[in-house]
A = this chain, B = another copy of it.
Amino acid sequence: MFTSETQLRVRYADTDQMGVVYHSNYFDYFEVGRAEAIRQLGYTYAKMEEAGICMPIVDAHARFLRPALYDNLLTIKTTLKELPVHHKIEFVHEIYNEQNQLLCSGKVILYFVEKTSMKRAVMPEILKKILEPYFT
């Protein structure tokens, strides 16, 4: 298992007239979680795209338990429970506020895809080698 944490602050633009973060923004926060998880491993999603692999999202799910509010400093916990074997990778996300209350949990499934052909690919070897030690 590999787990990573990162923080971000809720922007005014993310709030809605209910006075809370509009729900679709949490999916953007999840993506920040994924990007920082890969960076903490010493690689980046940007490098992966440069190397010709991109990761379209095929499935996204979120449960909203408590609202995030403007200016809240959120902690995004991103977990990879299994090492991906084929073209598919599944991230689990949890978002906490400063009182360590769970606000939102979710799961996002992405495919590794060749950027030019959009054909299914596998996780780049370089990332696989970094991740393997977490799953043995």
CB < 8 Å neighbour of A56 from B44, B63, B64: B64
Contact in complex: A58, B64 (CB < 8 Å): yes
Contacts of A18 in B (CB 8 A): 17, 54, 56
Stretch at the interface among A24-32, A93-101, A125-133: A24-32
Contacts of A56 in B (CB 8 A): 18, 20, 64, 67
CB < 8 Å neighbour of A35 from B12, B23, B44: B12
Number of copies: 4
Chain A interface (Cβ within 8 Å of chain B)?
A: 9, 11-13, 15-20, 22-25, 27-28, 31-32, 35, 44-46, 49, 54, 56-65, 67, 70-71
Top 10 closest A-B pairs, CB basis? A24-B27, A15-B17, A46-B71, A61-B61, A23-B57, A24-B24, A17-B19, A13-B28, A15-B16, A13-B22
